[in-house]
Amino acid sequence: MKTIITYGTFDLFHVGHINLLKRLSELGDRLVVGCSTDSFNSLKGKTTVYPYEQRKALLEACRYVDNVFPEENWEQKRADITREKATLFVMGDDWAGKFDNLSDLVEVFYIPRTPDISSTEVKTYLKVRDEEKTVEIKNLLSRAIELLES
């Protein structure tokens, strides 16, 4: 039983996450995911739209994922690898090199991220679109007031 382990926040679950999880699932028999808890994300300086329970539920609903456990700190990876009997530790290459210290315990490697999609980009897109909509509504309102006053 070849187990792959990976970690992440997986906020606003998107195709970049799916591509990664699909590729990881093809590397072995079992894929386990450490999902960052809300408190660990504050430690990482990250705010999320979806709380941990929803991000966990989305991962558990993903056909490529066999088990999801909470990632609560930076130090737990060794214990997780041992508990899950993982033989591969894989992350997207935005983390390249950051976890090489685990290579005495498990094979560590990094795979290319999916370009042009990230939770941050989704949040930015929605913010810009909302701002554009607000301007449009303000313009329509001032136009309506002008017409009423004339």
* Residues carrying an active site annotation: 44, 46
Could you tell me which stretch among 5-13, 61-69, 122-130, 142-150 binds ligand C2G (CB under 6 A)?
A: 5-13
Which residues, in sequence order, are bridge partners of residue 86? 3
Our CB check for ligand C2G shows the closer of 47 and 142 to be 47
Could you tell me which stretch among 14-22, 62-70, 78-86, 140-148 binds ligand C2G (CB under 6 A)?
A: 14-22
Interface with ligand C2G (CB under 6 A), residue from 3, 5, 9, 89: 9
Vertex 19, ends 108 and 112: CA angle to 5°?
A: 50
Q: Report if residue 17 touches ligand C2G, rule: CB under 6 A.
A: yes
Q: Report if residue 81 touches ligand C2G, rule: CB under 6 A.
A: no
CB of 147 to ligand C2G, least distance (A): 47
The residues, any chain, with a CB within 8 Å of residue 19's CB and separated by 6 or more, are 114
Between CA 113 and CA 92 the distance in angstroms is 5
CB of 135 to ligand C2G, least distance (A): 30
Which residues, in sequence order, are bridge partners of residue 5? 32, 89
Between CA 100 and CA 14 the distance in angstroms is 27
Give, as one character, the DSSP assignment of residue 113: P
Q: Report if residue 71 touches ligand C2G, rule: CB under 6 A.
A: yes
Tokens (6 digits) for 77: 């990876």
Tokens (6 digits) for 112: 């290319």
Cα 120 to chain centroid distance, Å, stands at: 10
Interface with ligand C2G (CB under 6 A), residue from 18, 27, 96, 117: 117
Q: Report if residue 8 touches ligand C2G, rule: CB under 6 A.
A: yes
Name the site residues for ligand C2G (rule: CB under 6 A): 7-10, 16-17, 20, 36, 46, 71, 91-92, 94-95, 113-114, 117-118
